[in-house]
Structure 1
Amino acid sequence: MLASTPAHAHIRMMDAGFFEGLMHPVAGIDHLMAMLSVGIISARLGGKYVWSIPACFMLAMICGAGFAAIGVRLILSEFAIALSVFILGIAIFTSYKPAIIIGVIGTCFFGIFHGYAHGSELPRLTNPGLFVSGFLVGTAAIHLVGVLLGKLAERKVTMKEYLNYAGAAFAGIGGYLVTEYIPLLMLTYR
């Protein structure tokens, strides 16, 4: 897993439909960890934020996918995805509960880049609507698993410790992915 290369969630099939879209968020470990993290953090925030934070992420993903579909170029999108894994992992590890406005803005910011990565495949697909539907359902399912894990951790102290360890692992993997992009950034923006 640590030896994998960036952009490992991206498909290359022309006739991808709902199932390929469904599997797209699961295929890339960076997307999977970030979406699980959003669910876990929203469960820790509790109340109406359990569902509104993941909903914000998904709406931002739709915007990001739309940007990609109309040809808007977001620079550093893969770097932002790796950074999201790192920051969300730290938030889980430290049991950090952000102020709601920070949680919403951060979620939307990272959601745009995740959606952009998914949406960058749209112009080459024959069934973009089915693909988008699939990746939204896949994302919602991953958020749901994260929420369930977060809620379970509220009831069991040992489960909370395991989630904190998972957060440390997410942060470590995210940190590794971020460092993969630093030499690229240095060469690109000299």
Structure 2
Amino acid sequence: MNAYHRILGGLALAATIAGMPAAALAHTGVGAVHGFAPGFLHPLTGIDHILAMVMVGVFAWQLGGRALWLVPAAFVTLMAAGGALGVAGIPVPFVEVGIALSVVVLGAVVALGLRAPLAVAMGLVGLFAICHGHAHGAEMPEDAGGLAYGVGFMLGTALLHMAGLGLGFLIGRAGDRHGPLIVRSVGGLAALAGVVLLGGVA
């Protein structure tokens, strides 16, 4: 099985998992939660967060240059701001819809290969980052060690961005002949998963 089929198989599995009940998503406060390690692992437990974060990384790879680090950095920074709003109890409207839309939009952006200006790209991912951060901040368990949990969550998210960048570089190795098709397939499958998620919260 070549790299192209492995990538498509993984994204197809992700799209299938996206159809699971909302209780399987990352936005829960269930179980004992204390400090850095649970915060680090928490972003890896929700398919909505995973797909959006990986698409941010692939999008940054598509743009190249300074976007390789500025786009993920914008997401992590504004996610932290959204988390602070959530912890403080300051409402942000349509958070869950925004999270599902983030998967749809970022997947579509990757599939279409949109070459957005850097500032626009940072603003786009930043808008969705506030939704992701707010959801997790608002539902952070009371027994969580706030600062350590938050740092762990941010690092876990950054790891997913790096996975997206790595996926982009892997796609790039497919060359000019197969690379664009793989990118469109990856982005399209992520967007499809986002539509399924959106149907569950709209």
Scaled by the length of structure 2, the TM-score of the pair is 0.83
In structure 2, which of residues 126, 129, 133 is the aligned counterpart of residue 111 of structure 1?
Answer: 129
User: Structure 2 counterpart of 1:174, which letter?
Assistant: G
For the structure 1 residues 2 and 147, does the alpha-carbon distance in structure 2 shift closer, same or farther, using more than 3 Å as the test?
Answer: closer
Return the alpha-carbon distance in structure 1 between the equivalents of residues 103 and 33 of structure 2: 30
56, 60, 84: which one aligns with 1:38: 56
Paired residues of 2:19 and 2:197 also in contact (CA < 8 A) = no
Equivalent AA in structure 2 for residue 169 of structure 1: L
1:49 to 64, 67, 90: 67
* C-alpha contact (below 8 Å) 1:44/1:151 kept by paired residues: no
Return 5+ residue gaps in structure 1 as ranges: 183-190
How big is the shift at 1:96? 1.8
Look up the match of 1:17: 35
Verify the 8 A CA contact 1:69 1:123 in the aligned structure 2. Answer: no
Partner of 2:22: 6
Aligned structure 1 segments of 4 or more residues deviating by more than 6 angstroms: none
Please list, as runs of the form range in 1=range in 2, the aligned pairs for 1:52-63 lying within 5 A after superposition: 52-63=70-81
Of residues 14-23 and 87-96 in structure 1, the stretch that sits farther from structure 2 once superposed is: 14-23
2:92 pairs with one of 74, 86, 98: 74
| Residue 130 (structure 1) aligns with | 148
Please give the per-residue CA displacement for 1:104-162, whole angstroms capped at 9, x wherever unaligned: 11111001111112212336134111211111110111101111211232332335433
Percent identity of paired positions between Structure 1 and Structure 2: 31
Deviations 1:29-87 (A, max 9, x none): 00000000001000111111100000000000010000011110112111100000000
Q: Deviations over 1:81-109 (max 9, x none)?
A: 00000001111111222222221111110
How far is the alpha carbon of 1:2 from its aligned partner? 4.1
Counterpart in the other structure of 1:172: 192
Name the CA distance, whole Å, in 2 between partners of 1:12 and 1:123.
8
Residue identity matched to 1:122: M
- 1:187 alignment counterpart: none
| Distance (whole Å) between structure 1 residues aligned to residue 96 and residue 150 of structure 2 | 19
Match of 2:182 among 158, 162, 187: 162
Aligned to 1:185: none
Residue identity in the other structure for 1:165: S
The count of corresponding residues between Structure 1 and Structure 2 is 182
What is the TM-score when the length of structure 1 is the normalising length?
0.88
Quick check: 2:18–2:48 contact (8 Å CA) kept in 1? no
The 1-side partners of 2:106 and 2:53 are apart by 9
| 2:22 match: secondary structure | coil
Match in the other structure for 2:83: 65
Q: Unpaired segments of 5 or more residues in structure 2?
A: 1-16
